[in-house]
Amino acid sequence: MEAIMISDETIAEKIYYIREEKVMLDSDLAALYQIETKQLKRQVRRNLKRFPPDFMFELNAEEISRSQIGTLKHGGNIKYAPMAFTEQGVSMLSSVLNSDRAIAVNIQIMRIFTRVRKMLMDNTELRLEIEKIKSKLDNQDKNMEVVFRYLDELLEAKYNPAPREPIGFKLKS
């Protein structure tokens, strides 16, 4: 198997978030595999049964213009809509692209997808812990507010005592 010299950062930069999915575009994958984009698309179209909508979808005009991903890479002249591959779709590409490089690159991409997923899970767990702490602090603030209100009432009572009837004998004058 071929040793691949692609940095993880290079691959991670090519993972986009489209339609609430982490995806990679056909042109980026073709560059990583060192093949032409049209060759990658041809292989996918020949094996469409392997790529259901949750594995691969084509970007619509709004997604292309909103993200500017496709127009930048294709010089603004797009004949065919870019294909976006989810993690499962990228994995499936290794079954239709049989070169050693494609297999090695796919293994590296899968590892990066796994790392990204783990980072997101770690961030979610961290966010939940922070929310718990904030909730406890909110309750703490309310409790402290009650304590300070009682202290204020006690201090006020000490400095402004209510008039009382004197005790003891009263002398008549």
Residues 44, 96: contact at Cβ < 8 Å?
Answer: yes
Q: Is residue 75 part of a domain?
A: yes
Q: How far apart are CA 109 and CA 29, in angstroms?
A: 10
Give the closest residue to 57 by CA, choosing from 92, 19, 106, 12: 19
Question: Which pLDDT value is given to residue 86?
Answer: 92
Question: Which pLDDT value is given to residue 71?
Answer: 44
Q: Is residue 158 part of a domain?
A: no
- pTM as predicted: 0.61
Report how many domains make up the chain: 1
Q: Is residue 140 part of a domain?
A: no
Q: Is residue 147 part of a domain?
A: no
- By CB atoms closer than 10 A (0-12, 13-18, 19+), residue 138 is exposed
Question: Which pLDDT value is given to residue 172?
Answer: 76
Structural domain including 43 reads 8-125
- Output the tens digit of pLDDT for each of the chain's 173 residues: 555 678 888 888 888 888 888 899 999 999 998 999 999 999 999 999 999 999 999 998 888 876 655 444 544 556 778 999 998 999 888 888 878 888 888 888 888 888 887 877 777 777 788 888 887 777 777 778 888 888 888 877 777 767 777 777 777 76
Domain with residue 58: its CATH number is 3.10.260
Q: Is residue 58 part of a domain?
A: yes
Q: Is residue 1 part of a domain?
A: no
Question: Which pLDDT value is given to residue 173?
Answer: 66
Question: Which pLDDT value is given to residue 70?
Answer: 47
Q: Is residue 139 part of a domain?
A: no
